Homo-oligomer: A and B are copies of this chain.
Amino acid sequence: MKTRIMPKRRVATLRLDHFIPYKLSVLAAKVSLRLAREYEQAVGLQLPEARVMAVLGSFSPVSSNAVVQHTSMDKATVSRAISRLLHLGLMTRVPDPRDRRLLILSFTPRGRRCYARLTRIARKWESWFVARLSAAEHARLKRSLTKLTERLEANGPYAAPKLRTKRAP
């Protein structure tokens, strides 16, 4: 009897802990959580609000829409964040006289102070966070993240390789 060695059917597996999309997602979730807590207890702001502050800090008088562009957050989320910030008296909003659809945001003095604290906290936390990476690693990481982000933004023509179109149950 000829025992044929069966070409051991290699069972395809997917180890989540080696799967970059998964690693990214878990890490990002943890980071956001931590940072959100920092912000919350230091200045009483949530992440979306802090992000809006950050944009305002860099590009001072901006419209809501510009914030959306800069943050790649959702329109609705930005709108809600802004209304909270207004309510807190951290920024003001006036319609642009030249295009009255636009609402122009600026810091109040209190907002500027809050922003200053925010940046200190953010920077400090980040440097703690990446302290285990060498400068080179840090730089390479940033570059890789940028590359990958661009990969997605060029909303790449990744066409799902059409395997027979059986939409499994």
Interface residues of A (CB under 8 A from B): 12-32, 34-35, 38, 41-44, 51, 54-55, 57-58, 70-72, 88-90, 110, 113-114, 116-126, 128-133, 137, 140-142, 144-149, 151-153, 156, 158, 160-161, 163, 167-169
Contacts of A152 in B (CB 8 A): 27, 30-31, 34, 129
Contacts of A117 in B (CB 8 A): 163, 168
Please measure, in the bound complex, the distance between the C-alpha atom of A154 and the C-alpha atom of B104, giving whole angstroms: 43
Number of identical monomers bound together in the oligomeric complex = 2
> Nearest 3 CB-CB pairs, A to B?
A28-B28, A14-B119, A12-B119
Please tell me if the beta carbons of A145 and B23 are within 8 angstroms of each other in the complex.
yes
Please measure, in the bound complex, the distance between the C-alpha atom of A149 and the C-alpha atom of B147, giving whole angstroms: 20
Contacts of A42 in B (CB 8 A): 160, 163, 167-168
Classify the interface of chain A: helix, strand, loop or mixed. Answer: helix
Report the nearest B residue to A123, measured CB to CB: B14
Contacts of A124 in B (CB 8 A): 160-161
Please measure, in the bound complex, the distance between the C-alpha atom of A58 and the C-alpha atom of B137, giving whole angstroms: 31
Please measure, in the bound complex, the distance between the C-alpha atom of A26 and the C-alpha atom of B17, giving whole angstroms: 20
Please tell me if the beta carbons of B119 and A13 are within 8 angstroms of each other in the complex.
yes
Please tell me if the beta carbons of B27 and A32 are within 8 angstroms of each other in the complex.
no
Contacts of A90 in B (CB 8 A): 169
Please measure, in the bound complex, the distance between the C-alpha atom of A32 and the C-alpha atom of B22, giving whole angstroms: 8
Report the nearest B residue to A146, measured CB to CB: B23
Contacts of A119 in B (CB 8 A): 12-14
Report the nearest B residue to A143, measured CB to CB: B137
